[in-house]
């Protein structure tokens, strides 16, 4: 009985799940619409299971940054227009994707409906009472937890690339009146963080040894006969 009890304790200890560890990577980004109106490409290390000794249990992506957006609207009509005749609706969607895995917008910056009373066009571009200037600055943040069925996007090869694109969504009233809209400045900078949560698992040889040990300990001696 003593040997059987010992075997039971040893097997129970071996079955306790390992505590989760986290591998964190942070990459800084800088994006300027004047430089290139295309996604910023960020490179991360793919998850390494260390020969099957680590099991990926969670993937988290988080974004922290700042933005600056400047826009100017100018009346093209020969007569003044009022704010109830026209508007611009603007929003920025912080889109992030890893290869074919699109995470969507980690944050949405909604600037609402923008309008103003504008004088008749004065023939001078980008200034004067026939134009209005809007300036926005602030922080961006957001995160996403990846579904287990999408973990394979983070385990292929040695490195993976993330595409970050601050998509500016614009809606304007159809003419008339006619007006021009200029994006004079649209800048984003900050960091994107990728976290791998994983647990350590015994190597195959260790599992075999545990199994053999358990069987050996559970054998009983037959009582001797005098």
The per-residue pLDDT for range 68-81, each reduced to its tens digit, is: 999 999 999 999 99
Q: Is the pLDDT confidence value at 30 over 50?
A: yes
Look up the domain containing 212 and give its range.
Answer: 1-18+202-219
CB neighbours of residue 153 within 10 Å: 17
Count: domains in the chain: 2
Q: Which pLDDT does position 116 carry in this prediction?
A: 98
Same domain for 59 and 12, yes or no, is no
Does some domain include residue 114? yes
Same domain as 87, residue 40:
yes
pLDDT the model gives residue 19: 72
Mean pLDDT of the chain: 87
Residue 225 is predicted with a pLDDT of 55
Q: Are residues 10 and 35 in the same domain?
A: no
Query: What is the band of 216 on the pLDDT scale with cuts at 50, 70, 90?
Result: very low
pLDDT of 200 above 50: yes
The answer on 206 and 163 residing in a single domain is no
Query: If you average pLDDT over residues 142-160, what whole number do you get?
Result: 97
Those residues with Cβ within 8 angstroms of residue 8's Cβ, 6 or more apart along the chain or in another chain? none
Q: Residue 135 has which token pair?
A: 């300036």
Domain-located, residue 224:
no
Residue 62's contacts (CB-CB under 8 Å, 6 or more residues apart) are 106, 141, 142, 143, 144, 192, 193, 195
CA-CA distance, 86 to 139, in Å (whole number)?
29
pLDDT at 65: 98
Shared domain for 80 and 157, answered yes or no, is: yes
Tell whether 225 is covered by a domain: no
**In this predicted structure, which of 14-18, 30-34, 93-97, 125-129 has the lowest mean pLDDT?**
14-18
- The DSSP annotation for 158-195 comes to SEEEEEEEEEEEEEEPPSSSPEEEEEEEEEEEEEEEEE
Residue 138 has pLDDT above 80, yes or no: yes
Average confidence (pLDDT) over 61-67: 98
């Amino acid at each position: 009985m003593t040997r059987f009890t010992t075997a039971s304790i040893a097997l129970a200890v071996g079955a306790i799940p390992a505590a989760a560890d986290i591998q964190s990577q942070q990459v800084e980004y800088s994006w300027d619409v004047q430089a290139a109106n295309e996604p910023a490409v960020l490179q991360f290390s793919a998850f390494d299971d260390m020969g099957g000794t680590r099991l990926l249990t969670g993937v988290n992506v988080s974004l922290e940054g700042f933005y600056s957006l400047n826009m100017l609207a100018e009346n093209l009509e020969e007569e003044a227009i009022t704010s109830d005749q026209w508007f611009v609706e603007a929003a920025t969607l912080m889109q992030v994707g890893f290869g074919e895995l699109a995470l969507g917008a980690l944050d949405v910056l909604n600037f609402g409906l923008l309008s103003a009373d504008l004088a008749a066009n004065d023939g001078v571009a980008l200034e004067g009472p026939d134009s209005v200037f809007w300036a926005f600055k602030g922080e961006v943040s957001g995160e996403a937890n990846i579904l287990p069925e999408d973990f394979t996007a983070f385990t292929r090869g040695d490195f993976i690339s993330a595409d970050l694109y601050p998509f500016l969504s614009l809606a304007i009233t159809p003419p008339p009146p006619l007006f021009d809209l200029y994006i004079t400045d649209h800048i984003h900078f900050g960091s994107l963080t990728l976290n791998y949560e994983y647990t350590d698992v015994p190597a195959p040889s260790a599992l075999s040894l545990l199994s053999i040990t358990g069987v050996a300990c559970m054998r009983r001696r037959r009582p001797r006969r005098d």
